[in-house]
Amino acid sequence: MSRLDDLEAQSIYIFREAFNKIENIALLWSLGKDSNVMVWLAKKAFYGHVPFPVMHVDTEKKFKEMYEFRDRYADEWNLNFIREVCPPLEEMDDTLPPAARSAARKTVGLRDATKKHGFNGLFAGIRRDEEAIRAKERVFSPRGAEGKWDFKHQPPEFWDQYKTEFPEGTHIRIHPLLQWTELDIWNYTHREGIPIIPLYRSKNGLRYRSLGDEDITNPVKSDAYTIEEIIAELGSTKVSERSGRALDHETEDAFERLRAEGYL
Nearer to another protein, 47 or 64 (CB): 47
The region of 26-34, 98-106, 110-118, 232-240 touching another protein under the rule CB under 8 A is 232-240
**Using rule CB under 8 A, residue 13 touches another protein:** yes
Site for another protein (CB under 8 A): which residue of 72, 115, 116, 191? 191
Nearer to another protein, 63 or 140 (CB): 140
Nearer to another protein, 24 or 83 (CB): 24
Q: How many residues does this entry show for the chain?
A: 264
- Residue 122 CB, shortest distance to another protein, in Å, is 18
The region of 88-96, 148-156, 200-208, 217-225 touching another protein under the rule CB under 8 A is 148-156
- The residue type found at 123 is F
Nearer to another protein, 83 or 128 (CB): 128
**Using rule CB under 8 A, residue 205 touches another protein:** no
Site for another protein (CB under 8 A): which residue of 161, 195, 203, 223? 161
The region of 28-36, 53-61, 150-158, 196-204 touching another protein under the rule CB under 8 A is 150-158
- Report the Cα 257 to chain-centroid distance in Å: 18
Residues 163 and 172 sit within 8 Å (Cβ to Cβ): yes
**Using rule CB under 8 A, residue 149 touches another protein:** no
SS3 sequence of the chain: CCHHHHHHHHHHHHHHHHHHHCCCEEEECCCCHHHHHHHHHHHHHCCCCCCCCEEEEECCCCCHHHHHHHHHHHHHCCCCEEEEECCCHHHCCCCCCHHHHHHHHHHHHHHHHHHHHCCCEEECCCCHHHCCCHHHCCCEEEECCCCCCCCCCCCCCECCECCCCCCCCCEEEECCCCCCCHHHHHHHHHHHCCCCCHHHCCECCEECCCCCCHHHECCEECCCCCHHHHHHHHHHCCCCHHHHEHHHHCCCCHHHHHHHCCCC
Site for another protein (CB under 8 A): which residue of 105, 163, 209, 245? 163
Q: Which 111-130 positions form the footprint of another protein (CB under 8 A)?
A: 128-129
Binding site for another protein (CB under 8 A): 1-6, 8-10, 12-13, 16-17, 19-20, 43-49, 51, 128-129, 132-133, 135-136, 138, 151-152, 154-161, 163, 165-167, 179, 181, 183-184, 187-188, 190-191, 193, 231, 238-240, 252-253, 256
